[in-house]
Amino acid sequence: MVALGEISEVAPVEAGLPWSLTRLQERSDGGSLPTHMKVRLSFSKLSFAAPVSAPILRASKLQHIVGQSRSAIQGRKLVALKLTANQWGDLVDLVDQVQPPDGMPTAWNVPPGVVVKRAELHDVYGGNPRLTVGASGRTPNAFLFLERNITGELATRWQGPVLVTPGQAQWTDSISYDNLAALSHRRRGIPLRVFVAHDRECLYMGEFAIDLESPVERWIDTGKRDIRSSYSRRPHIVDTRTPLFRLHQLTGVAMPVDHADLFRDAPRVSHRLQPVGEQPAAVAVRELLAVLENKPATAASLGDLDEAQMLATLVQRARRQSDLDELRAAAENPDSNERDLQKLIERMTWIFGGEFLPGTGRRNLTLRDQLDLALLRPDGTLHGVELKQAKIERLVTGQRNHLIVGPEVNKALWQAANYLRELDEKRPQILVDLGIDCRRATMTVVIGHTGFLTTQISPEEIHETIRTANSHLTRVNVTTYDRLIENAQRTLDLTTPER
């Protein structure tokens, strides 16, 4: 819940228009005729930065609102919630008591009147640092930056209680996505954060709201612009125009009407992802875990927050990136042996893909053989991993004007084949003793690194030769350490949250 207000006007309109309700109008014959009604709302309280969430409502005297509002949202309908006068009073009091989330950068922790470096602001909250207006990207916020030195029609100015300031220049007939980030912030229920920009810094003025009656003062033609793309060298000149937004300040510091130096005496902070106060990050995290363990309801409420999911993704990605960097360094170190590489890969089984689970800690499933790593698929079938040295000088060799895998790779292939044969023969016993199905088990052999080549054969030819060999194998797959790390890095890059 982000706003409180009342219906100020209801009037009939044509069917199909937005923000309309359907009302049954009585006919002369006693029947009813549907009529579409336009509803105008007047908001007395906007709380985009401190919304009343479903957990807060459940813990209050207004639990029944949650179910009614959820059914309305799912049905994409505008419905009336039945509240008594006392319940409405309780709701108003509840909205006034709710405070903005504190201590989490993904919510908002920049106080009004503070100067931050714009690069650091976007590092934490996302968004495009080159735009005048746009979405945060990482958090439920919209940004608008005011330029101090713009004069003429585009100059920022006060018109009574309304701040008139330019948006983002655009060349399309429809409103651009950047300008929509500000124009639709009310409908999306997110705060519009306004900054004054100067060089590489920006001063946070506070939370504003777009004018409901007249969001745009007018559009101004701002000349021609070359929007030449990276794939075409031909200039593409277009006419641009810029909207003048009409804003109302909700919270924050007063915006001066003169050209006083706002940045001279304003406090400056370094804005990075860090815990509140001087305590180390590990201490803050442990305190948070203790709270979540002792208060299950708090932990459950975090599941409704996109920020919690983002935080979990960032923590997991940071840990995996650290492990991957360590494996890359070990694989490129000529002194690393098989045991060194195995210790690292044992804790990062995700590197082999999302179809595998960490598997079993047992490596000696049979009497005569021992797997370097035993993974399980979700259906319980086994996938073994055989790790070899990274420093192998002849991964492939020539034969009659063609390339084939070298003797070390061929030896590893036969070792994997013998493992699979042994698992097939002992399948009933392993299934009874360990509950692992070894029938048609598969294996991955990780061997060599193209950085240690001593021949004139290129890395591309190495990988192509190994791919050719894999195409003729049914249960064994061969890869190099550099290709394994490259694929894992690509997966991590794809899981990075959008900025």
In three-state secondary structure terms, 244 is: strand
Predicted confidence band of residue 440 (pLDDT cuts 50, 70, 90): confident
Which of 373, 365, 409 lies closest to 389 in space, CA to CA? Answer: 409
345 and 294, same domain (yes or no): no
Predicted confidence band of residue 82 (pLDDT cuts 50, 70, 90): confident
Task: Report the pLDDT value the prediction gives residue 293, as an integer from 0 to 100.
Answer: 62
CA dist., res. 447 & res. 395, Å (int): 8
Report which of residues 456 and 20 the model is more confident about.
456
439 and 334, same domain (yes or no): yes
132 and 219, same domain (yes or no): yes
Predicted confidence band of residue 360 (pLDDT cuts 50, 70, 90): very low
CA dist., res. 136 & res. 262, Å (int): 24
Strands 381-387 and 237-249 turn out to be unpaired
272 assigned to some structural domain: no
Q: For tokens 């319980």, name the residue.
A: 380
Report which of residues 231 and 4 the model is more confident about.
4
CA dihedral 467, 409, 383, 484 (to 10 degrees): -60
468 and 365, same domain (yes or no): yes
- Given a cut of 70, whether residue 322 has pLDDT beyond it is yes
pTM for the complete prediction? 0.47
Name the least confident of 25-34, 398-407, 467-476, 480-489. 25-34
Which of 431, 429, 481 lies closest to 459 in space, CA to CA? Answer: 481
Name the least confident of 149-158, 461-470, 479-488. 149-158
213 assigned to some structural domain: yes
499 assigned to some structural domain: no
124 and 234, same domain (yes or no): yes
CA distance to 287, 292, 294, 311, per residue, from 284 (Å): 5, 13, 16, 14
329 assigned to some structural domain: yes
Among 28, 62, 97, residue at a domain's last position: 97
Task: Report the pLDDT value the prediction gives residue 103, as an integer from 0 to 100.
Answer: 44
Task: Report the pLDDT value the prediction gives residue 282, as an integer from 0 to 100.
Answer: 58
**CA dihedral (338, 341, 343, 345) positive or negative:** negative
351 and 294, same domain (yes or no): no
Predicted confidence band of residue 254 (pLDDT cuts 50, 70, 90): confident
CA dist., res. 112 & res. 208, Å (int): 12
What do you get for the CA distance between the two ends of the chain, in Å?
A: 26
312 and 337, same domain (yes or no): no
- Given a cut of 50, whether residue 386 has pLDDT beyond it is yes
- CATH number of domain containing 349: 3.40.91
Which of 398, 417, 418, 375 lies closest to 465 in space, CA to CA? Answer: 398
Among 225, 249, 273, residue at a domain's last position: 249
CA dihedral 270, 276, 279, 282 (to 10 degrees): -100
Which of 193, 195, 210 lies closest to 248 in space, CA to CA? Answer: 210
85 assigned to some structural domain: yes
Task: Report the pLDDT value the prediction gives residue 20, as an integer from 0 to 100.
Answer: 46
Report which of residues 45 and 268 the model is more confident about.
268
Task: Report the pLDDT value the prediction gives residue 318, as an integer from 0 to 100.
Answer: 80
Across the beta sheet with 3-12, what order do the strands follow? 3-12, 32-46, 20-26
Long-range contacts of 408-412 (CB under 8 A, 24+ apart): 408/447, 408/448, 409/445, 409/447, 409/448, 409/466, 409/469, 409/478, 412/386, 412/388, 412/445, 412/447, 412/478
357 assigned to some structural domain: yes
Name the least confident of 25-29, 252-256, 477-481. 25-29
121 assigned to some structural domain: yes
318 and 369, same domain (yes or no): no
16 assigned to some structural domain: yes
- Given a cut of 70, whether residue 216 has pLDDT beyond it is yes
19 and 150, same domain (yes or no): no
177 and 285, same domain (yes or no): no
Q: Read off the pLDDT of each residue in 300-323 and give the average, rounded to a whole number.
A: 71
Number of domains in the chain: 4
Which amino acid, 260? Answer: A
Contact predicate 192/212, CB 8 Å: no
- Residues 367-397: b if buried by 16+ CB within 10 A, e if exposed: eebebbbbbbeeeeebbbbbbbbbbbebbbb
359 and 339, same domain (yes or no): yes
Range of the domain at 155: 115-249
CA dist., res. 484 & res. 464, Å (int): 15
Q: For tokens 């701040």, name the residue.
A: 163
Q: Mean pLDDT score of the chain, rounded to an integer?
A: 78
**CA dihedral (463, 469, 472, 474) positive or negative:** negative
- Given a cut of 60, whether residue 22 has pLDDT beyond it is no
Task: Report the pLDDT value the prediction gives residue 478, as an integer from 0 to 100.
Answer: 94
Contact predicate 347/323, CB 8 Å: yes
Predicted confidence band of residue 485 (pLDDT cuts 50, 70, 90): very high
- CATH number of domain containing 203: 2.30.280
Which amino acid, 320? Answer: R
Among 322, 341, 372, residue at a domain's last position: 322
Task: Report the pLDDT value the prediction gives residue 105, as an integer from 0 to 100.
Answer: 45
Which of 316, 387, 320, 382 lies closest to 355 in space, CA to CA? Answer: 382
- Given a cut of 90, whether residue 444 has pLDDT beyond it is yes
Q: Quick one: 315 exposed, middle or buried, by C-beta within 10 A (0-12, 13-18, 19+)?
A: exposed
Percent of the chain at pLDDT exceeding 90: 20
CA dist., res. 428 & res. 220, Å (int): 79
50 and 192, same domain (yes or no): no
Task: Report the pLDDT value the prediction gives residue 376, as an integer from 0 to 100.
Answer: 78
